Amino acid sequence: MDSRRSFIGSVATGLAGSLAPSQVLGANDRIRLGIIGPGDRGKQIAREAIACPNTEFVAFADIYTRRLEDAKQLAPNAKTYLDYRYLLDDKSIDAVLIATPQHLHAEHFCAAAEAGKHIYQEKTMAFTVEHAKRMRAAYKKIGGKRAVQIGHQSISSGQMTDAVNMLAAGKMGKITMIESHMFRNSAHGKPQWSRPVFPDMTTENILWKSFLGEAPSREFDANRYVNWRFFWDYSGGNFYENMCHQLAFWYKPLKLEIPRKVTTTGGVYLWKDGREVPDTMNVSMEHPEELLVTWASGFGNSYLGAEEHILGDEGTIHKNQQIRYRPQKENRPKDAEVLGETRSAPRAHMQNFLDCVRSGAEPNCSFEIGFRVSVACRMAVESYRQQRAIKWDAGREEIV
């Protein structure tokens, strides 16, 4: 592993900005992979990639030495870097997984695109509208030449196949609303998302300035580092953690555009632990398709779980652990309920990405879906923080 001392002393020559694109892969070629950000989620998707046939994990990059040491257990022969640019400098690496905190996504995505890598980008794709536009410009340079998969994994599930079939059957009528929610709970004294601060979380083992990226400058704070999801400088809260998934699932088959207007209410009602992002929230999104999307979430009761209801005047699609179609008897009295039966293949989303690296096809969750979902989520954040309804100016591509 590059030590902190060697990192500080290294001369960064021949880095990603000057790289030529990686070579084109054949259908049966072994894919060489690296990851930027092998934290909890990063290691999870790295395991999925390693378990897919004909792959080799060759590099990890992270700003915390402990994470690099832990990551070596997944691939003992892989190289480790404190500076992700050295990973991107390796021309033998075909594809890069990015699982860093949300405020760093644009930096790492754009650098990986410039380096000519195929990219698996964890959700939510972009932190701000400006970041989304910057990422789009980088994507356009590699569009059609490199696979880009956004990490909304349910889009590759069997439920997506069933949803597409149910919608294609023409038995929904006019869809006017999607009601969705996500609720969870945890034991007293164990706040949602809270992670312990370890003694080795010091400036000797964490590259604090690299963590901050474009966020406001602050003195080193181990709690802000490890619990970054609590703070607006680095996180979009549960809008970016869970609402994004439920939006993305339906944005694809319904081809929904960015909302015209978003209104968010809520607050930190339960976990008084210094977090800035709300633990209880309600979002209303008016879409240009004359369709309202609502999403409610809270961290104080798990009874309602996670569900979506797609409401048409001829039928309803209900999705939770299963997905099913129920006719509206007022307009379709003879139709019967349909239960989804398509199984999800193991590691389907990652396998789809790797298949597209080899074939050149567009992955299941395209950059465009990631872009629209990112902007919708950002609108929810801005509405909450500004305590007003937020509108989207589609012509200027700006939040107003």
Q: In the chain, where do the E strands start and end? A: 31-36, 55-61, 79-81, 95-98, 118-121, 148-150, 175-183, 261-267, 280-287, 291-298, 306-312, 315-319, 323-327, 338-339, 390-393, 398-399
Residue 73: pLDDT above 60?
Answer: yes
Give the span between the Cα atoms of 185 and 272, in whole angstroms.
15
What does the pLDDT look like over 227-277, one tens digit per residue? 999 999 999 999 999 999 999 999 999 999 999 999 999 999 999 999 999
Using alpha carbons, list the distances in angstroms from residue 215 to 107, 131, 212, 238, 371.
Answer: 12, 12, 5, 19, 21
Query: What are 361-372's pLDDT values in tens digits?
Result: 999 999 999 999
Query: Does residue 173 lie in a domain region?
Result: yes
Look at residue 18 and tell me if it is in a domain: yes
Domain containing residue 77: 4-154
In the predicted model, is pLDDT for residue 292 greater than 70?
Answer: yes
Of the candidates 365, 321, 358, the one whose C-alpha atom is nearest the C-alpha of residue 162 is 321
Position 24 scores a pLDDT of 60
Residues linked to residue 294 through DSSP beta bridges, in sequence order: 179, 284
Q: Is the pLDDT of residue 300 over 50?
A: yes
Dist. CA 400–CA 260, nearest whole Å: 10
Give the residues across from 127 on adjacent strands: none
Q: Between these two residues, 142 and 5, which has the higher pLDDT value? A: 142
Is residue 351 within 8 A of residue 345, CB to CB? The reply is yes
| Structural domains in the chain (count) | 2
> Whole-number mean pLDDT of the chain?
94
Residue 324 has pLDDT above 90, yes or no: yes
Q: What is the pLDDT of residue 16?
A: 38
Strand pairing of 31-36 and 55-61?
parallel
Higher-confidence residue: 24 or 206? 206
Query: What DSSP string describes 137-190?
Result: HHHHHHTTTS-EEES-GGGGSHHHHHHHHHHHTT-S-SEEEEEEEEE----TT-
pLDDT band at 144 (very low <50, low <70, confident <90, very high): confident
**Same domain for 190 and 140:** no
One domain, residues 244 and 208: yes
201 domain-assigned: yes
CATH of the domain at 105: 3.40.50.720
Q: What share of the chain is helix, strand, coil (3-state, %, to 5)?
A: 35, 20, 45
The answer to whether 96 touches 120, Cβ cutoff 8 Å, is yes
pLDDT greater at residue 16 or residue 378 = 378
Please report which confidence band the pLDDT of residue 5 belongs to, taking 50, 70 and 90 as the band edges: very low
Cβ neighbours of residue 382 under 8 Å, at least 6 residues apart?
A: 262, 390, 399
Residue 391 lies in a domain: yes
Return the structure tokens found at 29: 């070629």
Asked if residue 312 lies in contact with residue 173, where contact means CB atoms within 8 angstroms, the answer is yes
Both 276 and 297 in a single domain?
yes
Question: Are 201 and 78 in the same domain?
Answer: no
Q: Tell me the average pLDDT across 342-346.
A: 97
- Among the candidates 154, 183, 200, a domain finishes at 154
Q: Which residue has the tokens 């760093």?
A: 104
Using 50, 70 and 90 to split pLDDT, how confident is the model at 9? very low
Tokens, residue 194: 């809270």
- Give pLDDT tens digits for 17-33: 333 444 566 666 899 99
Q: pTM score, two decimals?
A: 0.93
> Do residues 141 and 172 both lie within one domain?
no
CATH number at residue 201: 3.30.360.10
Residues 88, 165: one domain? no
When pLDDT is averaged across residues 320-343 and rounded to a whole number, the result is 97
Question: Do 383 and 277 share a structural domain?
Answer: yes
Element spanning 37, H or E: none
Residue 165 belongs to a domain: yes
* pLDDT of amino acid 11: 28
User: Are 148 and 160 contained in the same domain?
Assistant: no
**Does residue 304 share a domain with residue 201?**
yes
> For 157-181, what is the mean pLDDT?
98
Share of the chain above pLDDT 70, in %: 93
Residue range 61-71, pLDDT digits in tens: 999 999 999 99
Provide Rg for the chain, Cα atoms. Answer: 22
pLDDT of residue 23: 53
Q: Which of 21, 16, 18 is nearest to 146 (CA)?
A: 21
Q: Does 377 share its domain with 388? A: yes
Residues 60 and 186 in one domain: no
